[in-house]
């Protein structure tokens, strides 16, 4: 299927939208509410384009491609409309980039940059909004909210925690938690999906505030160490301090589709903790002393051998954790069955 974008022909996939086709081919159309995961919302209205033979403008995020479609994304009519839409969004809150955590990673900033908007034309900022700092890991600053609805869809349809929704109407529309509780007392489990989906600086990782701009941090992709699900995550590291600043889920991961749980996303403070064990410890005379792995493993293996010799194989049992991987579980039962010589091996998921 051929679709023309600004006069040039592109091969389009039948299931995609005009916005997806354009972005895939490096043609930027301002968009604030669309996200591959939360889908087309057509709420922000920034992605309007002109279609040959269709009056008015159409939002490209919910417009399926059709063969031979001629799309204009950069005519003066389109740009003027986009400029007004983005200008209104910018005017709707306190979108100051200077110390915003999302600076450099903000989709509103990207749109304003593309359209050449220096500062908002209108003054709509409603300074009644207080920052909701009640929850452990997430700061909610509604003066930066553009009501894109991604967090609402993410909370209700992606992770299905059903905590966030819209409250009030019109200009006073805002995201609320449960029955308009502060986030800290709501049923929110702090999975941080909303933070990851937020295109602006409304929902942010509280502990990362002031700890480093996105372009200063090195992003390293890895697998979450906590449990056996194997969520792929990206660790944002400040190399100067060798410190993890934040963790995000990898969006195209087949395991977790960008989602993480509270541990995976926010439970990384142990990494640099002074209390963290970095070597095995052996207790002698009621006191721990540092040991190396060979010594520690030899000690444990020796004690198991002694027990086995004295009381028989069946005096030992192994219990594995559901949080380790299948491969680790396999190796563990192998150890108990073959080396210890007993079938006394079980798994906490059966208890």
Partner 1 sequence: MKSKSHIADTHKYNFNYENRVVLKNSGIIDPENIEEYIGVGGYKAWEKVLTQMKPMEVVEEVKVSGLLGRGGAAFPAGLKWSFTAPLKAEQKYIVINADEGEPGTFKDRLIMEGDPHKLLEGTMIAAYAVGASKSYIYIRGEYTLCISRLKKAIVQANEYGILGENIFDSGFNHEIEIKIGAGAYVCGEETALIESMEGNRGTPRSKPPFPGVEGAWHKPTVVNNVETIANVSAIINNGADWYKTLGVEGCYGTKVYTIMGDVELPGLCEAEMGTSLRTIINKYGGGMKNGKQFKAALVGGAAGVFLSNEMLDVKMDFNTLKEYEAVLGSGAILVMNEDVDIVEMLWSVIRFFRHESCGKCNPCSNGTTVLYNLIDKIRKGKGKEADLDELIRISEAMFLTSFCALGQSPLMPIKSAINNFKEDFLTKIK
Stretches 82-90, 298-306, 314-322, 325-333: which one binds partner 1 (CB under 8 A)? 82-90
Q: How far is the CB of 70 from partner 1 (least distance, A)?
A: 18
Report the relative pairing of strands 70-72 and 203-205 from DSSP bridges: unpaired
| Residue 259 neighbours by CB distance under 10 Å | 20
Task: Check if the beta carbon of residue 65 is closer than 8 Å to that of residue 25.
Answer: no
Query: Binding partner 1 by CB under 8 A: which of 1, 51, 79, 88?
Result: 88
Contacts of 163 (CB under 8 A, 6+ apart): 155, 177, 178, 186, 187, 188
Instruction: Output the CA angle 263-220-215, nearest 5 degrees.
Output: 105
Does the footprint of partner 1 cover residue 81 (CB under 8 A)?
yes
Query: Binding partner 1 by CB under 8 A: which of 56, 210, 254, 286?
Result: 56
- In the region spanning residues 15 to 44, those forming contacts with partner 1, defined by CB under 8 A, are 32, 40, 42-44
| Residue 91 neighbours by CB distance under 10 Å | 16
Distance CA 19, CA 22 (A): 5
Which is nearer to partner 1, 169 or 287 (by Cβ)?
169
Distance CA 284, CA 286 (A): 5
Query: Binding partner 1 by CB under 8 A: which of 10, 16, 37, 62?
Result: 62
| Residue 180 neighbours by CB distance under 10 Å | 11
Does the footprint of partner 1 cover residue 46 (CB under 8 A)?
yes
Does the footprint of partner 1 cover residue 48 (CB under 8 A)?
yes
Which is nearer to partner 1, 171 or 311 (by Cβ)?
171
Does the footprint of partner 1 cover residue 57 (CB under 8 A)?
yes
Q: Would you list the DSSP string of 172-187?
A: G-EEEETTTB-GGGSS
Which is nearer to partner 1, 34 or 266 (by Cβ)?
34
Does the footprint of partner 1 cover residue 75 (CB under 8 A)?
no
Does the footprint of partner 1 cover residue 166 (CB under 8 A)?
yes
Which is nearer to partner 1, 5 or 32 (by Cβ)?
32
Residue for token digits 């740009």? 79
* Residues forming the site for partner 1 (CB under 8 A): 32, 40, 42-46, 48, 56-57, 62, 77, 80-81, 84-85, 88-89, 91-92, 122-124, 146-147, 165-166, 168-173
């Amino acid at each position: 299927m051929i679709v023309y974008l600004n006069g040039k022909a592109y091969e389009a996939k039948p299931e995609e939208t005009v916005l997806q086709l354009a972005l895939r081919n490096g043609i930027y159309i301002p968009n604030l509410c669309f996200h591959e995961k939360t889908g087309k919302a057509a709420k922000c209205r920034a992605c309007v384009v002109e279609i040959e033979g269709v009056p008015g403008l159409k939002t490209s995020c919910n417009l399926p491609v059709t063969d031979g479609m001629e799309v204009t994304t950069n005519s003066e009519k389109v740009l003027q409309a986009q400029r007004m839409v983005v200008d209104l969004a910018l005017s709707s809150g306190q979108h100051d980039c200077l110390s915003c955590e999302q600076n450099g990673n903000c989709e509103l900033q990207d749109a304003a940059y593309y359209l050449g908007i220096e500062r908002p034309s209108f003054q709509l900022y409603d300074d009644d909004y207080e920052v909701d700092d009640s929850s452990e890991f997430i700061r909610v600053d509604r003066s930066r909210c553009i009501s894109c609805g991604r967090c609402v869809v993410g909370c209700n349809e992606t992770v299905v925690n059903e905590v966030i929704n819209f409250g009030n109407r019109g200009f006073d529309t805002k995201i609320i938690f449960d029955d308009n509780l502060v986030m800290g007392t709501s049923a929110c489990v702090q999975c941080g999906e909303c933070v990851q989906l937020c295109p602006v600086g409304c929902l942010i990782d509280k502990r990362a505030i002031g700890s480093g701009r996105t372009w200063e941090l090195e992003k390293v992709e890895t697998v979450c160490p906590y449990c056996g699900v194997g969520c792929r995550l990206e660790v944002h590291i400040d190399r100067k301090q060798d410190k993890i600043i934040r963790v995000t889920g990898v969006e195209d991961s087949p395991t977790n589709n960008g989602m993480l749980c509270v541990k995976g996303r926010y439970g990384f403070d142990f990494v640099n903790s002074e209390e963290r064990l970095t070597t095995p410890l052996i207790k002698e005379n009621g006191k721990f002393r540092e040991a190396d792995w060979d010594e520690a493993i030899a000690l444990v293996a020796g004690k198991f051998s002694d027990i086995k010799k004295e009381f028989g194989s069946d005096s030992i049992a192994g219990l594995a954790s559901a949080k380790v991987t299948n491969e680790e579980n396999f190796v563990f039962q192998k150890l108990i069955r073959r080396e210890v010589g007993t079938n006394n091996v079980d798994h906490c998921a059966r208890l």
